[in-house]
Structure 1
Amino acid sequence: MFRISILSAVAAFLFCNASLAQVNQRTQFNQGLAMFNELVMQHELGEAIDFIQIDKLLEEEELTELNRSLRVAIPDDFVNNQSVRSEVLKNGFRQELLAFWTEENDYYFVYILFHSRKDGFSVIHIEHSTEIQDLMAFF
């Protein structure tokens, strides 16, 4: 009887920690995506990509060029953003299609493929375009 109680307590502890880790990882993902969105809303695409691709550091020239190309494509300020499509794949993979738009109905889209690991999220692939059909092909 005592052994069953100990096993039950250990199982409850492990499930509680696993659940807590999953909640923390989900919170980390949501916070990271919110910061990414905020940077893109400010036309700081280079900084946004640099922020979520922690394993790849962009050179200053790359950051500047990404920001410049976004400002050329969409010169007006963004007024809102939303997730267009989000898909949880197998084995910790997830893909997101994000939309950003202006009052003049100019749209900018960002596709991100993530992989969730024990140590956090890894960004595997990013694409961005003013044409949604270019990015919907990933789904």
Structure 2
Amino acid sequence: MRKWFVLFISLFFVLSFLSGCSAKPSLELVDAEVDIVKDKNLVGAIGITEGEKKGEELIPTALIYAFTIKNNGNEPVGSIEEADKGIELKIEPKSKLKSVSKDVIGFNIYNPDDYNESGVGFGQSQLSIINADHLPMI
């Protein structure tokens, strides 16, 4: 009888462990948008201080991504203690987008080593915490 009890308890723990490992991820990408914009309200402007166009503004063209991520879990993701790190997302472009970037701009905009000395800037915004059952736009 004791042998069956130990076998039952062991099987229970194995099944509990497997069900915990197979749980779906708590974060879900609900929507993703990308746009090429030339909008002073979104990307700012650079004032020209000399030459024929002195006093005019140069508005850069920018590639903007917006993600909507849902936390399907019961606990918040992220923490105040690590607020400076935010929640990291990585955009992995396909090779065609990388090559178009290189053809149009002259370098791969997705590789910081390629544009560090170019004078081109980049920006980002991020959240530190996504609460359970919440849909923030990042």
Coarse TM-score class (shorter-chain normalised) = 0.3 to 0.5
Larger Rg: 2
Give the TM-score, by structure 2 length: 0.38
Give the TM-score, by structure 1 length: 0.38
